Structure 1
Amino acid sequence: MAYQALYRKWRPQTFDDMVGQSAVTHTLKNAISNHKTSHAYLFTGPRGTGKTSAAKVFAKAINCPNQTNGEPCNECEICKGITNGTIGDVIEIDAASNNGVEEIRDIRDKARYAPTQAEYKIYIIDEVHMLSTGAFNALLKTLEEPPQKVIFILATTEPHKIPATIISRTQRFDFRRITSQEIIDRLAYILGQEGIEYEADALSVVARCANGGMRDALSLLDQMISFGDGKVTLEEAIQVSGSLTDDLMIDFVKDLQETKAEEALEKLQQLFKIGKEASRLVEEWLEFARDLLIAKQSGEAIGRSERFLQFKDEVEPEFLYRFVEALNQTQQEMRFTTKPTISLEVLTIKMAQPYTLTPRTSSGAPALPSSEEVQQLQQQIAQMQQQMNALLQGGAPQAQQAPKAQAPRPTRAAFKPNTTAIQKILTEATREDLLKVRDLWGDLLSCLNPQEQALLSQSTVNAAGPNGFVLGFAYDHLCDISETRPGFRELIQEHLERLGGYSGTFVAVTQHQWPQIRADFLQERKKNQEEEAVSIVTEEPAVEDSLTPEQQAFEQKVNDTIELFGEDIVQIEE
Structure 2
Amino acid sequence: MAYQALYRVWRSQRFSDLVGQQMVTQTLKNALSQHKTSHAYLFTGPRGTGKTSAAKIFAKAINCPNQKDGEPCNDCDICREITEGRLNDVIEIDAASNNGVDEIRDLREKVKYAPTQATYKVYIIDEVHMLSTGAFNALLKTLEEPPKNVLFILATTEPHKIPATIISRTQRFDFKRITAEDIVEHLRHILSEMSINFQEQSLYIIARAAEGGMRDALSLLDQALSFSDGELTDQAALQVTGSLTTEMMDRYVSLCAQGSVDEALQAVQAILSEGKESSRFIEDMLFYCRDLLIYQQAPQLLLTERGFLSEKFKTLSQALPAEKIYRYIDLLSDTQRQLKMSTHTAIYLEVATVKLASDSGSEKNMEAHSSVSTQEITELQEQLSALKNEMKQWQAANANAEGKSQTASAPVQNRPVTQYRLPKEQVYQILHEATREYLRMTQDVWEELLQFLSVTHRAMLKASQPVAASGKGVVIAFDYEIICQRADDDMELKTVIASGIQRLIQLELNVVFVPKDSWSVLRREFLQSNPVDEQASGQTATEMREDAALLQEDPEKQVVDKALELFGSDVVEIVNE
Letter in 2 for 1:268: V
Secondary structure at 1:312 match in 2: helix
The 1:106/1:342 distance shift into structure 2, 3 A limit, reads same
The Cα shift of 1:245 comes to: 1.0
Contact 2:242 2:277 (8 Å CA) reproduced: no
**Cα distance 1:160–1:288, how it changes in 2: closer, same or farther (>3 A)?**
same
C-alpha distance in structure 2 between counterparts of 1:407 and 1:200, whole Å? 48
Aligned residue number for residue 10 of structure 2: 10
What is the aligned partner in structure 1 of residue 559 from structure 2?
A: none
- Bigger CA radius of gyration: 1
What do the CA deviations read for 1:91-120 (whole angstroms, capped 9, x no partner)? 001000000001011111111111000000
Aligned counterpart, 1:324? 329
How has the CA–CA distance of structure 1 residues 37 and 354 changed in structure 2, closer, same or farther, with 3 Å as cutoff? closer
- Alpha carbons of 1:514 and 1:167: their partners in 2 closer, same or farther (altered >3 Å)? closer
Deviation at 1:357, TM superposition (A): 6.9
Paired with 1:197 and 1:357, the residues of 2 have a C-alpha distance of: 47
Q: Partner of 1:348 in structure 2?
A: 353
Which residue does 2:36 correspond to in 1? 36
Match of 1:339 in 2: 344
Report 1:169-248 matches (<5 A): 169-248=169-248
Counterpart contact for 2:60–2:82, Cα < 8 Å: yes
- The residue number in structure 2 matching 1:311 is 316
CA 1:514 to 1:182, structure 2 compared with 1: closer, same or farther past 3 Å?
closer
Tell me, in whole angstroms, the C-alpha distance in 1 between the residues paired with 2:212 and 2:201: 17
Deviation at residue 173 of structure 1 after TM alignment: 0.3
If the length of structure 2 is used for normalisation, what is the TM-score? 0.63
How far apart, in 2, do the equivalents of 1:305 and 1:407 lie?
36
What are the Cα deviations for residues 65-106 of structure 1, in whole angstroms up to 9, with x where unaligned?
Answer: 000000000010000010011110000010000000010111
Secondary structure of the residue aligned to 1:313 is helix
Check the 8 A contact 1:49/1:176 in 2, yes or no. yes
1:305 alignment partner AA: L
Query: Structure 1: how far apart are the matches of 2:10 and 2:3?
Result: 13
Asked whether the equivalents of residues 225 and 232 of structure 2 are also in contact (C-alpha less than 8 Å), the reply is yes
| Cα distance change, pair 408–112 in 1 and its aligned pair in 2 (3 A) | closer
Aligned equivalents of 1:169 and 1:220: distance in 2? 38
**In structure 1, how many angstroms separate the alpha carbons of the residues matched to 2:152 and 2:494?**
65
The unaligned stretches of length 5 or more in structure 2 are: 377-452, 455-488, 496-510, 512-577
Find the aligned partners of 1:260 and 1:56 in 2 and give their Cα distance. Answer: 56
Counterpart CA distance in 2 for 1:180 and 1:70 is 28
Change (3 A) 1:82 1:514: closer
Who is 1:130 aligned against? 130
Q: CA deviation at 1:333?
A: 2.2
Q: Residue type matched to 2:345 in 1? A: P
Aligned to 2:265: 265
How far off is 1:310 after superposition? 3.8
One-letter amino acid matched to 1:43: F
Equivalent residue number for residue 512 of structure 1: 492
Counterpart Cα distance in 1 of 2:291 and 2:277: 21
- Measured after TM superposition, the shift of residue 305 of structure 1 is 2.7
Deviation at 1:340, TM superposition (A): 2.1
> Match for residue 288 of structure 2?
288
Please list the CA deviations of residues 179-199 of structure 1 after superposition, one character each: whole Å capped at 9, or x if unmatched.
001000000000000010001
Structure 1 position 209, deviation (Å): 0.6
**CA displacement 1:271-302 (0-9 Å, x = unmatched):** 22222222111111111111111111111322
- Distance verdict in 2 for CA 1:409–1:45, change over 3 Å: closer
Q: Distance in 1 between matches of 2:8 and 2:369?
A: 68
Report SS of the residue matched to 2:223. helix
The answer for the alignment partner of 2:83 in structure 1 is 83
**Alpha-carbon distance change, 54 to 514 in structure 1, aligned in 2, over 3 angstroms:** closer
Give CA deviations for 1:526-561 in whole Å, capped at 9, x if unaligned: xxxxxxxxxxxxxxxxxxxxxxxxxxxxxxxxxxxx
Equivalent in the alignment of 2:144: 144
| Superposition deviation, residue 332 in structure 1 | 2.0
Residue deviations 1:32-70 (CA, integer Å, cap 9, x gap):
011000000000000000000000000000000000000
* Deviant stretches of 4+, over 6 Å: none
Secondary structure, aligned partner of 2:20: coil
Between the aligned partners of 1:298 and 1:268, the Cα distance in structure 2 is 30
Once residues 80 and 321 of structure 2 are traced to their aligned partners in structure 1, the CA distance between those partners, rounded to angstroms, is 58
From the superposition, tell whether residues 241 and 510 of structure 1 become closer, same or farther in structure 2 (CA, over 3 Å): farther
The 8 Å contact of residues 318 and 357 in structure 1, kept in 2 or not, is answered as: no
On the 8 A contact 1:129/1:161 being kept in 2, the answer is: yes
Pair 1:21 & 2:24 matched: no
Stretches of structure 1 that go unaligned for 5 or more consecutive residues are: 359-405, 415-473, 476-508, 520-574
Percent of aligned pairs sharing the same letter? 57
Shift of 1:408: 9.2
Cα distance in 2 for partners of 1:3, 1:408 equals 65
Q: Is the 8 A contact 1:59 1:122 kept in 2?
A: yes
Q: How many angstroms apart in 1 are the aligned matches of 2:292 and 2:166?
A: 43
Aligned-residue offset at 1:311? 3.0
CA spacing shift, 1:407–1:339, aligned 2, 3 Å = closer
Per-residue CA deviations over 1:472-529 (Å, capped at 9, x if unaligned) read: xx99xxxxxxxxxxxxxxxxxxxxxxxxxxxxxxxxx9842899xxx9xxxxxxxxxx
Q: Which amino acid aligns with 1:189?
A: H
Please tell me the residue identity of whatever aligns with 2:309.
Answer: S
1:4 CA displacement = 1.5
Q: Deviations over 1:423-478 (max 9, x none)?
A: xxxxxxxxxxxxxxxxxxxxxxxxxxxxxxxxxxxxxxxxxxxxxxxxxxx99xxx
Amino acid at match of 1:87: L
Whether the 8 Å CA contact 2:242–2:280 is kept in 1: the answer is no
Give the CA deviation at 1:153. Answer: 0.3
Q: How does 1:378-397 map to 2 (within 5 A)?
A: none
CA offset at residue 334 of structure 1? 2.4
CA distance in 1, matches of 2:63, 2:38: 14
Distance 1:7 1:77 in 2: 24
Shift of 1:330: 1.5
Aligned position for 2:56: 56
Distance 2:55 2:234 in 1: 35
The 1-side partners of 2:55 and 2:315 are apart by 46
- Residue type of the alignment partner of 1:326: L
Q: Cα distance 1:91–1:514, how it changes in 2: closer, same or farther (>3 A)? A: closer
| 1:360-371 → structure 2 map (5 Å cutoff) | none
Number of aligned positions between the proteins: 377
Q: What's the counterpart of residue 431 of structure 2?
A: none
In the TM superposition, what is the alpha-carbon distance from 1:335 to its structure 2 partner?
2.8
Residues 510 and 248 of structure 1: is their aligned pair in 2 closer, same or farther, counting only changes over 3 Å?
farther
Q: Does the residue aligned with 1:91 lie in a helix, a strand or coil? A: strand
Q: What is the CA–CA distance in structure 1 between the aligned matches of 2:256 and 2:287, rounded to whole Å? A: 17
Q: Structure 1 259/410 Cα, relative in aligned 2: closer, same or farther at 3 Å?
A: farther
Q: Tell me whether 204-213 or 238-247 shows the greater mean CA deviation.
A: 238-247
Deviations 1:127-149 (A, max 9, x none): 00000000000111111221110
Does the CA contact (< 8 Å) of 1:42 and 1:155 recur in 2? yes
34-43 or 238-247: which moved more? 238-247
Q: Structure 1: how far apart are the matches of 2:368 and 2:349?
A: 38
**CA displacement at 1:178 relative to structure 2:** 0.3
